[in-house]
Amino acid sequence: MSTSITGTSALADFDRTTSRWGRATMLAGLVFSLTLPAYLIFFSGLDINFASILTAFVAIAAVFGVIWVIEPLTYYPILGASSMYQAFMIGNISNKLLPAVIVAQSTIGAKAGTRKGELASVAAICGAAAVHLLSLLVFVGFLGTWLVSIVPADVVAVVQTFILPTVMGAVIVQAMVSQRAPRSALIALVVSAVVVFVLVPLLPALKMYATVLAVVTTAVAAWFLRKDRQPAETLESARS
């Protein structure tokens, strides 16, 4: 009993700590990211006014604004609250951090959305970031352009063309296998295939909104096609 209470207290402390420092580091990152634009606006002497900034913001928001909502909703069930701070601070979520999290959860048998899965995602993101920084130090900082110059152009083209699809394909399979709701995973697969291979080729204008369309359609379809597991007699007693 005392062990359970101690574990619950430790998890509560973990949540409070990650929330406090997560908000602080995100705000600090926001301030630092705005430092250079602020310098260019106020001290560089460039002819930049509020109207041009607002026009550029509206143009970008019209294309990418919906992703600001879709990405947190999509990543949260897998990453958990604490890892969301890490992921959005580090970046490269879909092609680096999310694969690392899914592999880690699958390796230790942790389900996404559980506390064990959340702790696994924290450790996986720490590992992915450490490997990324170490590889940048070695292959970019020390070796730099020399390594690129000795790699044949054909090899570079193959890597750029096939490596990312290969990694993402493996991650998608693992994500589907680890899902607690196979019906929803199957719906997501079918909807995504229809959007990518049917709708986008027929209507190229939908290319920028393909992700949003797939996510929203999957959510709506999963809701209407869900299987009600509540027994009929329970429903009758609830009505009465």
Q: What is the pLDDT of residues 35-89, one digit of tens each?
A: 988 888 888 877 788 888 888 888 888 777 777 887 888 888 888 888 888 888 8
Whether residue 199 has pLDDT greater than 80: yes
Q: Are 98 and 75 in contact (CB under 8 A)?
A: yes
pLDDT at res. 236: 47
Q: Which residue has the tokens 């959860």?
A: 105
- Reading the block at residue 91, the tokens are 């970046």
pLDDT at res. 233: 43
Cα 163 to Cα 183: distance, rounded to the nearest angstrom: 29
Q: What is the pTM of this model?
A: 0.65
- Residue 61 has φ and ψ, to the nearest 5°, of -65, -30
Instruction: Determine how many CB atoms are found less than 10 A away from the CB of residue 63.
Output: 10
Cα 79 to Cα 117: distance, rounded to the nearest angstrom: 8
Cα 37 to Cα 23: distance, rounded to the nearest angstrom: 22
142 pLDDT band, cuts 50/70/90, is: confident
Q: What percent of the chain has pLDDT over 90?
A: 6
Q: What is the mean pLDDT of residues 94-113?
A: 84
